[in-house]
Chain A
């Protein structure tokens, strides 16, 4: 495949991957206070996502692909709230192990990587069109 056209494809796969990541982050943020429904039940567990590099057979370039979705096993936060339906016999409610600060930092990073990929796409497109312009004069 043409070396000038491959970056566009790779950048497109990078953007897809980062939007998957943004999806997971938004799920985590939305469920930052989701508790269980029965006494002592586990709340929402933070989701994680990891990526791997994959060789595209058609063009021989390394694309990015989601390798796995996971669940964060770190301990849940506990809060005293005897009125909640999820409170155990001592009145404690388990809250998700989502740290909004970490999620925000992750979101910023996903955003930046997306923008970087977009820039690569733009550059590749501009170079191709400038080269093609040589033919029309």
Chain B
């Protein structure tokens, strides 16, 4: 059963790495639940930080509107992916914890 949980993490980790923009997820996908969550969070934070930097550059006229929109959209997408993956993994764990022994 533990192996099965590990596989869940593996599958979610790799599929996310294909969707995300800057991926540092596939480095250690079988590291377990906390590892996956950590990677998901750090990728999301990276992308959002980049978007914020570009948005501020856009306000001070250093970046074009298109660049700002592109980065902000990428941040939104990454956040949504991260949230969706987190919800899926958490619900998988809940499903297992509710299992009758």
Q: Could you tell me which A residues sit within 8 Å of B by CB distance?
A: 2, 5, 8-9, 12-13, 15-16, 19, 125, 128-129, 132, 135-136
29 residue pairs A–B, Cβ–Cβ below 8 Å? A2-B18, A2-B19, A5-B21, A5-B74, A5-B77, A8-B70, A8-B73, A8-B74, A12-B66, A12-B67, A12-B69, A13-B66, A15-B66, A16-B64, A16-B67, A19-B65, A19-B66, A125-B77, A128-B77, A129-B80, A132-B80, A132-B81, A132-B84, A135-B84, A135-B85, A135-B87, A135-B88, A136-B84, A136-B87
Interface of A is mostly: helix
List the 3 closest A-B pairs by CB distance, nearest first: A135-B84, A12-B70, A12-B66
Q: Which residue of B lies closest to A1 (CB)?
A: B21
Interface of B is mostly: helix
Bound complex: CA A5 to CA B23 (Å): 14
